[in-house]
């Protein structure tokens, strides 16, 4: 049985592939790309059908962060000409969130720059959550405020936060190369605190920072072990004024292989196509919907994204549908386990997080592994050969990077 058939069957059983199999996905050539997408697409459809969940970012506080994350335009010492402002008032944040909800967003992600929130910051965010829920009681709220201190996760959950985002970003072995002001272990601890408090954990990665295939597999396997409910896959946006401004290490084809690998390793998890999709996938964005079941609508924190109306058109044209608030995002086995724990995993009407163990098979009517083209992967890939990230820097697409000048923190309407 060839590699892709094996990975599809494992995905339908929620069985973890081997590291060699994950590496082999990244090692496939462009000639096998559509076969890889088709195979991973079977797993995506088995657990999530053709639904696409929309998420909307609200940057509550922009810039002036004391941390030194190399990829971030809000970092200490950043020369990026981004918007800089202190905390939005609850009514301002609620108005921004409302634009996203009106555009079809099911989840609003409240983000603030900084190492982590003070207790006063948690109070501010709690007031903002209340303001949003007053207008949109069915919307999911995900907070992303940095490293959490004791008791803060519980307070955010009590305030109505359904989820907490804190990305691992890259492998533990290379984490010190991109950030020195906090550790990989700090990030893992915050994700675990959110889970322990009953919030749904959201944690993902950034590809394109010069990492190897082995680094990508390492971080995705670490995420699988942490078992978040959603895994955002970001592609580095090389922003002027940051240390990684000149790093153009991704092609559209590599982005698709990375997304496919994440889907095979995390078959029943909400895989979110996140920052950088427009810049690196470009005209191949619709293909990525066969791998990811979730995207951000409109703009990002400090950069502009594709127009919201174009996001919706892309979803429709590719034959997918926007997921409604009356639909539970995650498969029943994950949602049921969350409900039993008194928490929620991104489903309508649920609060918090927590997930069931692996081992359940896909629903009886799920797509099977049949008809995945046989013998499409070369022997060296099936044997687990590693292909490093592209050597050097690829063609720059800096002309596609636009700093956000609208929405939160401005007087201009948001993109949603």
| Active site residue ranges | 65, 69, 72, 109, 142, 202, 272
Query: Which residues, 6+ apart, have CB-to-CB distance to 33 below 8 Å?
Result: 253, 256, 257
d(CA 179, CA 168): 11
Query: 282 a known binding residue?
Result: no
Strand, coil or helix: what is 87?
Answer: coil
Residue 58 near residue 109, CB atoms below 8 Å: yes
Strand 270-273 relative to strand 294-296, pairing = parallel
Query: 109 a known binding residue?
Result: yes
Helices (H) and strands (E) in the chain, counts: 15, 10
Query: 358 a known binding residue?
Result: no
| Nearest by Cα to 297 from 105, 60, 112, 144 | 105
Query: 272 a known binding residue?
Result: yes
Considering just the CA atoms, what is the radius of gyration of the chain in Å? 20
Helix (H) or strand (E) holding 185, with range, is helix 184-196
DSSP string, 168-182: -BS-GGGHHHH-SSS
| Nearest by Cα to 171 from 202, 225, 211, 227 | 211
Strand, coil or helix: what is 235?
Answer: strand
d(CA 202, CA 223): 10
Query: 65 a known binding residue?
Result: yes
The helix-helix angle for 3-13 and 33-48 (nearest 10°) equals 10
DSSP string, 1-20: --HHHHHHHHHHHTPPPPHH
Burial (CB count <10 Å: 0-12, 13-18, 19+), residue 279: buried
First-to-last alpha carbon distance for the chain, in angstroms, is 45
Query: 266 a known binding residue?
Result: no
Q: Which residues are annotated as a binding site for [4Fe-4S] cluster?
A: 65, 69, 72
């Amino acid at each position: 049985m060839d590699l892709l058939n094996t990975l599809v069957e494992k995905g339908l059983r929620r069985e973890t592939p081997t590291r060699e199999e994950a590496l082999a996905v990244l090692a496939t050539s462009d000639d096998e790309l559509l076969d890889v997408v088709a195979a991973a697409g079977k797993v995506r459809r088995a657990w999530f059908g053709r639904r696409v969940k929309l998420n909307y970012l609200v940057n509550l506080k922009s810039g002036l962060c004391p941390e030194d994350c190399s990829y971030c335009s809000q970092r200490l010492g950043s020369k990026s000409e981004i918007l800089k402002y202190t905390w939005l008032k609850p009514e301002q944040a609620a108005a921004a969130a409302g634009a996203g909800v009106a555009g079809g967003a099911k989840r609003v992600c409240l983000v603030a720059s900084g190492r982590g929130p003070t207790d006063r910051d948690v109070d501010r965010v709690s007031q903002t959550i209340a303001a949003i829920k007053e207008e949109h009681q069915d919307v999911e709220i995900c907070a992303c405020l940095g490293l959490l201190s004791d008791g803060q996760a519980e307070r955010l959950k009590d305030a109505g936060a359904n989820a907490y985002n804190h990305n691992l970003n890259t492998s533990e072995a290379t984490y010190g190369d991109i950030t020195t002001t906090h550790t990989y272990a700090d990030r893992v601890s915050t994700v675990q605190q959110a889970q322990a408090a009953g919030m749904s954990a959201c944690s993902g990665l950034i590809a394109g920072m010069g990492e190897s295939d082995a680094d990508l597999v390492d971080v995705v396997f670490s995420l699988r072990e942490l078992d978040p409910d959603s895994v955002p896959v970001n592609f580095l946006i090389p922003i002027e004024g940051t240390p990684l401004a000149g790093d153009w290490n991704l092609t559209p084809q590599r982005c698709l292989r990375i997304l496919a690998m994440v889907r095979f390793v995390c078959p029943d998890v909400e895989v979110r196509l996140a920052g950088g999709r427009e810049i690196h996938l470009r005209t191949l964005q619709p293909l990525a919907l066969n791998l990811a079941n979730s995207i951000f609508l409109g703009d990002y924190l400090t950069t502009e994204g594709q127009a919201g109306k174009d996001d919706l058109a892309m979803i429709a044209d590719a034959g997918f549908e926007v997921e409604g608030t009356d639909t539970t995002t995650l498969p029943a086995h994950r949602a049921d386990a969350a409900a039993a724990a008194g928490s929620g995993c991104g489903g309508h009407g649920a609060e918090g997080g927590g997930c069931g163990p692996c081992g359940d098979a896909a629903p009886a009517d799920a797509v099977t592994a049949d008809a995945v083209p046989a013998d499409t992967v070369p022997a060296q890939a099936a044997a687990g050969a590693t292909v490093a990230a592209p050597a050097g820097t690829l063609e720059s697409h800096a002309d596609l990077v636009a700093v956000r000048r609208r929405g939160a923190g401005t007087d201009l309407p948001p993109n949603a």
